[in-house]
Amino acid sequence: MTKKEKVAFAMKTLHNLYPEIPIPLDHSDPYTLLIAVLLSAQSTDVRVNKITPLLFERASSPQEMIKLTVDEIREIIKPVGLSPMKSKGIHGLSQILLEKHNGKVPQDFDALEELPAVGHKTASVVMSQAFGVPAFPVDTHIHRLMYRWGFTNGKSVVQTELDAKRLFPKGKWNDLHLQLIWYGREYSPARGWKIENDIITRTIGRKSVLKAFDEK
């Protein structure tokens, strides 16, 4: 297969598997999505979805969040990990949203990335899932799959994002990044990988990956 044919095969297979694409993090608006994505750093979506109802019951808007102390936020979100940094970020960004953005989450990459504890990946998730702006957030699943399929060199998530945006049509980015996440979790995990279940890697995977698997 040519690279173009491999990309087309991956896209078609992902679409067939996930014609309807659920968003992994539970949320009700751009603000609660932003907080949920921030909490998901070095944690799992399952754990975050257990904690956010407790947090949002107390505060689901910037106005309510700043009424809590950093320590109160930290106590609620402890199970997701990195609570000292995340609690400061949540309180700080809520204050900035009120001071600079009328309490609204900005629909702008630069403005989002200026918020405390908000990096490029978090901003990309919010822009794509909350506002429908084409973006390609790269998490560990996407980084792993793009390398296994020979679509990137695997050296950095920055390079993987650039390669994904180069290979996939812009209008498909928002769907594809979610489809890749679900596929990585269900069919091509980092651990317990069974290649017989992984049709895309089995069909188009780079030779070095398939050889390494065969030698296990």
Please confirm, yes or no, whether 121 is among the known catalytic residues.
yes
Task: Give the separation between CA 47 and CA 52, rounded to whole angstroms.
Answer: 9
Look at the alpha carbons of 154, 134, 108, 67 in this order and tell me if their dihedral is positive or negative: negative
- Taking each helix axis from N to C end, the angle separating 173-186 and 120-129, rounded to the nearest 10 degrees, works out to 110
From the candidates 26, 45, 108, 139, which is the catalytic residue? 139
Whether 62 and 103 have beta carbons less than 8 Å apart is answered as: yes
From the number of C-beta atoms within 10 Å of its C-beta (0-12, 13-18, 19+), residue 70 rates as middle
From the candidates 6, 121, 163, 198, which is the catalytic residue? 121
The catalytic residues are 121, 139
